[in-house]
Structure 1
Amino acid sequence: MKLPQATLIAAVLACHAGLAQAETLDVSLQKAVQLALAKNFRIKVEEFSPKIAKARELSSTGKFDPVLEASYTYSHSEQELRTLSNNLVDPVSLPGGEDPSLFARTTGQEADISVAGLTPTGLTYDIGPSLTINDNTQRDPQYTSYNTFLGFSVTQPLLKNFGTDVNLASVRVARADQAISQWQLRQQVMDVVTDTITTYTELYFSIENLGVEERSRGLSAQLVQDNEKRAEIGVMSPLDVMQAKADLAAREERVLMAEREVKNNENFLKQLVTDEISGLLDTNVQVAQPPLPEVGDINRKKDIARAFELRPDYRQLLLSIQKRQINVVFTRNQSLPQLDLTGSLGLNGIDTNFLSSVQRASGVNGTNRNTAWDIGAIFSLPIPNREAKGDLEVAKLQSLQALVDLKRLEQAIIVEADNAAGEIDTTRKRIEASRVAREFAQMTLDAAQARLASGTSTTFEVLQFQRDFATAQVNELRARADFIIAVARYARLTGSTLERNRIILD
């Protein structure tokens, strides 16, 4: 179908505008964090963990669901009745007094419906009716008996497998796993936010660093031109020209390395804040200067105390210890002898009529009720029960191991948080110190260039002062970047990343 020219032009412009928008990612630091929360694949993957853990918890409670069972069986048997010579059959009882070989046929039908299940105390039950129908031609060609039965049976462990601590162990472990999955998701979000802040800051630093290297290269190139002019009029030696050219080549290499660093950090940031795949490498990134975070006086003791409440790895380890304690209780119970109390009670009704059979079983209309019951006990104990004892010892040791690991993590949290707080103090002071150093380096360079123009300085000195000035500029940028990263790292180590960035998890 041919489109009108105006429509075609509009479509082309719309596609071009959409392509341009897709190829440019202009973000601030706050927007980058928001995009990471919405599009980062690491977070999307981890979001499935709580849902999976919840489904597993539901599955663990299914062991207590009643089970409805129904069965039907039809049976048929034939038995040959021998002739009179074998004295097994009375000829009078044979139809017509004949003496052929006969067959006694028996057919039966059995139908059962029951509900069985397990309770949290360990008691198992089975309750339901059954019906048995028998046809026996040997007794009477027309004889059919109906046996109706209604009863139940229970088994209650008294030692092994007794109690809610044992039978609810898998449910409690599943609930602990669900809580762990929530902390794992929180940890992933915190890590992605911290990585986004770090990568964004590193990208901005690498862009500014590239600018410094390009300006430094420009100064070196200008010096080469000035030296060549001075050499032409005979006021400067060719050695000074060669020194300037060699330095220019070295600075060109630094520019190339800085450009590569910008590209690498662009890719790292795009990987964090977009869900693009095919168009990932075609997207350009533009970033603004990240603001210096507001940080007052750091209260180390208070922040460390909060870290024990908010750090996901610490909370996960506590839940892991809880799981191990549940396992200790379970394995201790499994090391006990098995002593089960069993019992059953049933009502029978046998008659040649189905309704009469049901009435006999239920005892209605004055019929006699046939009752059957039993009670007993089952005892078993492996000798010397090494498997259960070994499992119990393993569970105890693993629980103690987890407690020691908890102490290790507590120590690590204290050291890491204190070091990170010290890094904030140091980088904050570095910002001011590097600013002063950059200003003095610039004044020194300006003075050296003026002296070179007047013939009282050398090319070597000017080149050195240019490098010093470039280094001072980079150091100031590095100090600002390190301060931002140090604050983000301290927030992660104290568990306050989400709070600091005003992020609320559902």
Structure 2
Amino acid sequence: MLRKTVFILLLTTFVADTRSEGQTNRLLSLSECIQLALLHNYDVQIERLAPEIARYNLDGAYGAYEPSFNASAGERFINQPATFDPKKPGIDAPYELTTDSLGLGITGLLPTGLSYDAGGTASYLSARTDFSPSPKDAVLFPPNGIRDTNQYFSVSAITLRQPLLRDFWIDAYRQKIRVNKKNLKISEMALRWKIMNTINAVQQTFYELVFAREKIRVEEKALELATRLLKETRKRVEVGDLPPLDEKQAEAQVQTVQTDLYAAEQALAEQQNALKNLMTDEFQSWVDVNVEPGEGLIAVPQIFDRSDSWRSAIGSRPDLVQLRLELEKQGIIVRYRFNQIFPRLDLVGGYGLQGWRNSLGDTFGDIRDQSNPIYSYGVEFSIPLGGNRAARNGYRASQAVKQQAALQLKKVEQDVLVQVDDSLKAAQSAYQRTNSTREARVYAEAALEAEQKKLQNGVSTPFVVLQLQQKLTDARTAEIRALSDYNKAVAQLALNEGSTLEKNRLSLDVK
């Protein structure tokens, strides 16, 4: 049995050495873990792109007000045969007309809904008319009755259209811009919330890692106590002071504690991987790194005020701000849908100048001198005869969606109040447990020490000592569990009340 026990201890040492072989130790504080997570966590990296995408969409929406330059150049040819017009005597002479034109213009839209189209066109008209079918007209154009004419024509004009009802105070473009502004703020709040949740996840995992490390120490102490008791019991069995059953019970305790130690080591490895997964985007480079928490488990007393926590949560939590922005965004949609119920009433008008001359320069002179103005103005009215069913039902649907968003906001606000109350009570309870479990551990140590003395004096049995050893191990585990739970509860309370960044002295500046 002695050889077997020694073999177990050597195997434990070998396993520990094997696990540490090829690994590098890295001591990290909680603050350092948070900084690494903010730089390398995949969820944060993914969410960080959302405001950038939203900003691109917002900038793109302003493209509706970019003026468009257009240019055209071409030639048009008409070969018109002789035609008969019953309103006139004779026939219309056949002709060929070639028109060469060049046009330039700018079209666009203003944020008020005013659309404009300004431009100019210069044309050269060349005509060839055949009067030979009419001898009396043909003699006017010797020698063969063909008349060649040409002329230049230029025009410069602008036309405007201003909606007065539908699309007046809001239209599809303005709605898109305002919605995209809200989306940008929503994406910024989503990033802030993701960062806060990531920080909380790091804190929760860090404290679990510290617990796992302390749990190994607890089990190592328990193994040391069980091994020492086994040696003492074996000696007394050999001399006949104790029955062999006591030795078997002591050996069973050693094996049980050894199993618990293996489980604790596995839990530590899993917590290390969980923390690494939060801190890095290259797990391969961290897989052989042994992360050592640079902090222990302590219970720093805090003052808890439910009213302050509620006030902070309702006013600061990014997820609630997101829902309020969603409600405001839906209000913009309702406003647009309401506008679309109105009939279309547009004020339209245009003004231009033209010139007809035998040279292109003279036509420009006419335009400059405003010799031949052209203008128009009026209103255009349009209304669906069926009562504008599509627009009215779209408006009603948007109102219902807005009401739904308002109720969702109220529901989440109430859920947040419950979360804050639960986490506050959890923190208070955990702090109380840190005191009671510490006292329980002290009493368990004293009870074990007293029972060991009784065993040495022959007034107790190894079985009772084994029970007290297990109780001490349980008390030590309960103590570190309470300390871990308290720190985790404080971190969770900070998240639920929306103060995670402030509590960790961090600020977020989205650019």
**Normalising to structure 2: TM-score of the pair?**
0.85
Q: Give 1:495's aligned amino acid.
A: G
CA contact (8 A) 1:448 1:457 kept: yes
CA contact (8 A) 1:153 1:343 kept: yes
Task: Report the equivalent of 1:214.
Answer: 220
Q: Give 1:304's aligned amino acid.
A: W
Task: Report the equivalent of 1:13.
Answer: none
Alignment of 1:282-361 (within 5 A): 282-290=288-296, 292=298, 294-361=300-367
Task: Report the equivalent of 1:96.
Answer: none
SS in structure 2 at match of 1:457: coil
Q: Quick one: structure 1 residues 137 and 292, their matched pair in 2 at CA, closer, same or farther if it must change by over 3 Å? A: farther
Shift of 1:167: 4.7
Rounded to whole Å, the distance in 2 between the matches of 1:296 and 1:221 is 41
2:125 is the alignment partner of 1:134: yes
Task: Report the equivalent of 1:238.
Answer: 244
Q: Quick one: structure 1 residues 322 and 254, their matched pair in 2 at CA, closer, same or farther if it must change by over 3 Å? A: same
Rounded to whole Å, the distance in 1 between the matches of 2:57 and 2:299 is 42
Deviates more, 1:224-233 or 1:180-189: 224-233
Deviates more, 1:73-82 or 1:382-391: 73-82
**Matched-pair identity in %:** 30
Shift of 1:222: 2.7
Question: Cα deviation per residue 1:364-420 (whole Å; 9 max; x = unaligned)?
Answer: 6xxx42424343413131514332222112111111111111111221222211222
Counterpart selection for 1:265 from 263, 271, 289: 271
Task: Report the equivalent of 2:66.
Answer: 65
Shift of 1:81: 7.1
- What is the number of equivalent residue pairs in this alignment? 468
Q: Quick one: structure 1 residues 256 and 160, their matched pair in 2 at CA, closer, same or farther if it must change by over 3 Å? A: same
Counterpart selection for 1:480 from 483, 486, 492: 483
Rounded to whole Å, the distance in 1 between the matches of 2:124 and 2:379 is 30
Question: Cα deviation per residue 1:25-44 (whole Å; 9 max; x = unaligned)?
Answer: 22112222222233323222
Q: Give 2:453's aligned amino acid.
A: A
Deviates more, 1:387-396 or 1:289-298: 289-298
Q: Quick one: structure 1 residues 295 and 123, their matched pair in 2 at CA, closer, same or farther if it must change by over 3 Å? A: farther
Task: Report the equivalent of 2:27.
Answer: 26
CA contact (8 A) 2:343 2:381 kept: no
Q: Give 1:247's aligned amino acid.
A: Q
Q: Quick one: structure 1 residues 69 and 293, their matched pair in 2 at CA, closer, same or farther if it must change by over 3 Å? A: farther
Shift of 1:258: 0.9
Q: Give 2:218's aligned amino acid.
A: V
Counterpart selection for 1:436 from 439, 450, 453: 439
CA contact (8 A) 1:338 1:381 kept: no
CA contact (8 A) 1:161 1:167 kept: no
Deviates more, 1:139-148 or 1:263-272: 139-148
Task: Report the equivalent of 1:112.
Answer: 103
Q: What is the CA RMSD across the aligned residues, in angstroms?
A: 2.5
Task: Report the equivalent of 2:9.
Answer: none
Shift of 1:227: 2.5
Rounded to whole Å, the distance in 2 between the matches of 1:289 and 1:131 is 83
> Which ranges of structure 2 fall in alignment gaps of 5 or more residues?
1-20, 84-89, 131-145
Rounded to whole Å, the distance in 2 between the matches of 1:68 and 1:279 is 55
Counterpart selection for 2:208 from 202, 208, 218: 202
CA contact (8 A) 2:317 2:498 kept: yes
Task: Report the equivalent of 1:43.
Answer: 44
2:481 is the alignment partner of 1:490: no
Rounded to whole Å, the distance in 2 between the matches of 1:60 and 1:240 is 83
Q: Give 1:402's aligned amino acid.
A: A
Rounded to whole Å, the distance in 2 between the matches of 1:23 and 1:383 is 78
Task: Report the equivalent of 1:470.
Answer: 473
